[in-house]
Amino acid sequence: MDNTVLTSFTDGALGPDLEKAPTGIPGLDQITGGGLPLGRVTLVAGGAGAGKTLLGLNFLVAGARQYGDPGVLMTFEESAAKVALNVRSLGFDLDELQRSGLLAVLAFRVDPSEMVAVGEFDFEPLFAILDDAIRRVGAKRVVLDTIEVLFGAFGDDTIVRSELSRLMRWLEERGVTVVLTGERGNGSALTRHGIEEYVTDCVIVLDHRVSAEISTRRLRVVKYRGSAHGTNEYPFLISARGVTVLPITSVALNYEASEERISTGIPRLDHMLGGGMFRGSTLMVSGTAGTGKTSLGAHMVNAACARGEQALMVLLEESPEQVLRNMRSIGLDLRPWVEAGLLRIWAARPSAYGLETHLAIFAELIEEKTSSVAVIDGIASLSNGIPSTEVNTEVISIVARKIDLLKSRGITSVITAIGQGEEVSTVAMSSMADTWLLLRNVEANGERNRLLFVLKSRGTAHSNQMREFVLTDHGVELVDVYVGAAGVLAGSARVTQQAAERDEELRIAEELARRRRELHRSVIEREAHLVAVQDQLDAEQTEIKRIDLREGHLVADIEADRSTMAARRWADAVPHNGEPL
């Protein structure tokens, strides 16, 4: 029930009554809600080399191959052979399509220098030729490649104008879907000769601009009568499989969210992230030069290949050999995975092509083989050569589209970006990432050490702890940092500190032992002393007793003596104190 409501709402937004002819161009059908207006005329305007012809041909070829709609190409610019040759590199075999009766190519060369107009004329032959070709292949689609050349060639533009207008009406009556291409005019005019006036239904403008030596192709649906359509400028690519338009938020944020966790290849990092990355999520690693971003990415692909999964590594700064060598030095040998066909490494400086081409190749790599994990190393070099003011929009949109591509295919990705922590461009990119790891160099005591933080991790209770990121000869290891009174210590400072602490403990232990021994000795001494004192005390008490005893004997003796004496003298009783009264 909910589905029905949703569907009808979507249909309503896109114009329920308007039938569309799908272009088969990925992205364009999305923007236009299904394709070009069926049975009507669409103008594709753009400058020289903007890709108008290719877009038209793509429309025809897709029609013939995928939708069972044969088509007619009428070109006024090149010979049929040349057109066929030009598009062969895009995988369009026009000859084959013509042989199988799905396509008719009519090429006209209009040379104003050999033509003079004298009096009235009409384009009946053009109609007759088209009519014949349409009948012959049963065409549902017609592309008129730059019919504008008829202006000027016939002298009398008034007649040309009215004849073209008649042609459009005639084609619409036949119910064929038409693409007209037109050269971009000066100023605000869409086309040089104003042929947009015949086209009331759909106008698409292509733009090929070069900004800071990097070319980008853009497509915009200027007008689409009776249909909702994306109004932004969308980048489009011309690749080996034809034209692709990349709506920036193509995937409409409807990625599947997996509950599965996959390992980053670094056990302690998995632990910090609550058990690993979610499958299909995007991990961004940012940090200054030499903080170990590539190594982290290499761990990720190594782990994927070890699980038997396909992995892709896109290197924007280094060559594959360089990375293979460097990773071997930290104990990660990726070469066997490359040889086993599990790991593909693509290295390209993005400045070697335009950004769009770069993206196109990337998209092909992604589509060629289903990788479970992709690492894009050194994304910031996409902005090489672009003035910093333009870096954000251009590069960020490329990165966003890359992430979109990866996510729409459920590929778990690691993107490494050089950057000083939380600067603007990194922040803008990080909003597209699910997990953001920051690697930071900490400089102290004449050395640099790497610290790793988890800045964010969507849907995960992640560790808030800083870890020291150590590159060993057996890969990356995360080590607890030392947090002490002196702040965070890492590297040799951590080691020194730990050693110092051990020394201190030892010292205290020794001190205590010494003290114990001292006290022990003292106790023994004092106990001995105590015995001696007791002995003395005993002796003295004995002495006292003896003295007391002797004293009693002495008094008795004296008393006895005195009584003896008194008796002898007949002495009276003696008063007290013995004094005579």
Partner 1 sequence: MSEPHTANDGTGADTAGTGEQWDLVLYVTDRSPKCLRAIENLRRACEKDLAGLYTIEIVDLLENPRRAADDQILAVPTVVRRLPAPIRKVVGDLSDGDRLLVGLQLRRSPSQRDDR
Q: Which residues bind partner 1 (CB under 8 A)?
A: 106, 108-110, 113-126, 128-129, 131-133, 150, 154-156, 163
Q: Which is nearer to partner 1, 118 or 253 (CB)?
A: 118
Helix 157-173 with 124-137: angle, nearest 10 deg = 20
Q: Which is nearer to partner 1, 143 or 396 (CB)?
A: 143
Please spell the DSSP secondary structure of 428-463, one letter per residue.
Answer: HHHTT-SEEEEEEEEEETTEEEEEEEEEEETTS---
Check residue 417 and report its DSSP letter: E
Q: Are 37 and 202 in contact (CB under 8 A)?
A: yes
Q: How far is the CB of 76 from partner 1 (least distance, A)?
A: 9
Q: Are 342 and 311 in contact (CB under 8 A)?
A: yes
Q: How far is the CB of 13 from partner 1 (least distance, A)?
A: 42
Q: How far is the CB of 154 from partner 1 (least distance, A)?
A: 6
**What is the token pair recorded at 354?**
């335009």
Q: Which is nearer to partner 1, 127 or 353 (CB)?
A: 127
Q: Which is nearer to partner 1, 132 or 518 (CB)?
A: 132
Q: Are 54 and 94 in contact (CB under 8 A)?
A: no
Q: Which residue in 307, 289, 549 sits closest to 416, CA to CA?
A: 289
Q: Which is nearer to partner 1, 101 or 387 (CB)?
A: 101
**What is the token pair recorded at 425?**
């461009």
Q: How far is the CB of 153 from partner 1 (least distance, A)?
A: 9
Q: How far is the CB of 130 from partner 1 (least distance, A)?
A: 9
In whole angstroms, give the CA distance from residue 112 to residue 250. Answer: 45
Q: Which residue in 88, 124, 129, 123 sits closest to 107, CA to CA?
A: 129
Q: Return the ∠ at Cα 303 (arms to 302 and 307), rounded to 5°.
A: 115
In whole angstroms, give the CA distance from residue 290 to residue 302. Answer: 20
Q: Which is nearer to partner 1, 113 or 577 (CB)?
A: 113
Q: How far is the CB of 161 from partner 1 (least distance, A)?
A: 13
Q: How far is the CB of 132 from partner 1 (least distance, A)?
A: 4
In whole angstroms, give the CA distance from residue 474 to residue 456. Answer: 27
Q: Which is nearer to partner 1, 128 or 257 (CB)?
A: 128
Q: How far is the CB of 82 from partner 1 (least distance, A)?
A: 15
**What is the token pair recorded at 198?**
């015949």
Check residue 481 and report its DSSP letter: P
Q: Which is nearer to partner 1, 123 or 436 (CB)?
A: 123
